């Protein structure tokens, strides 16, 4: 794939009102054959090199955005496929069983891994988290604002919930993939807390 196609889509998406669909069509034709999507239930992408910067959901296939054609997941490594839990039909769950753990509305703070980098507040993400909780029903744990802490996530995942929703900042480091990280609210007026990709592994 010509790297110029990747750069063209990136540039177009950063310009509001631009004709980004032209770039998305071109890169979609180069990366996603139409017959691959036809009838597919789920598309799993493990990008390599410069393809790590491609927003696959935004690619267009046969005139439609990929996100409208098939559910798409992007994994940093194919090794994660081995960790996937066995498929289940969901089944019946007690109404008091925990259905969701969600994090959002991170407080602003300095990102020590970026020069002069400050992660702003994502106030609208609190409404997003509440909407997800209301839609799923069942018991849930919600961590917003100062509660949006890395340690809370680590503790919550000792018993993984059926649904984990993260509406917080993330940084993709394309030069050193394992330095990519999720950002959580700062603890005691310090810098924001980071959960690195290597920790996720």
pLDDT digits (tens, 9 = 90+) for 67-117: 888 888 888 777 666 665 555 555 666 666 778 999 999 888 777 666 556
Q: Which residues of the chain have pLDDT under 50?
A: none
Query: Comparing C-alpha atoms, which of 107, 101, 118 is closest to residue 184?
Result: 107
Q: What is the per-residue pLDDT for 80?
A: 65
Q: Which of 50, 37, 39 is nearest to 4 (CA)?
A: 50
d(CA 131, CA 184): 20
* pLDDT value at residue 102: 94
Measured CA angle at 129 (ends 192, 110), to 5 deg: 10
Element spanning 59, H or E: none
């Amino acid at each position: 794939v010509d790297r110029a196609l990747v750069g063209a889509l990136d540039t177009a998406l950063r310009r509001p009102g631009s004709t980004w669909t032209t770039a998305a069509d071109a890169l979609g034709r180069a990366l996603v054959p139409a017959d691959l999507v036809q009838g597919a239930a789920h598309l799993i992408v493990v990008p390599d090199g410069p393809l790590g910067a491609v927003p696959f959901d935004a690619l267009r296939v046969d005139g439609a955005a990929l996100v409208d054609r098939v559910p798409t997941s992007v994994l940093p490594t194919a090794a994660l496929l081995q960790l996937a839990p066995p498929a289940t039909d969901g089944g019946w769950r007690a109404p008091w069983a925990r259905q969701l753990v969600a994090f959002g509305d991170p407080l602003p703070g300095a990102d020590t891994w970026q020069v002069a980098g400050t992660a702003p507040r994502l106030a609208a993400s609190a409404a997003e988290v509440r909407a997800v909780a209301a839609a799923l029903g069942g018991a849930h744990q919600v961590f917003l604002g100062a509660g949006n802490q890395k340690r809370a996530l680590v503790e919550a995942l000792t018993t993984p919930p059926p649904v984990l929703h993260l509406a917080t900042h993330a940084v993709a480091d394309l030069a050193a993939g394992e330095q990519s990280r999720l950002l959580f609210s700062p603890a005691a007026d310090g810098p924001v807390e980071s959960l690195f990709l290597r920790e996720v592994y």
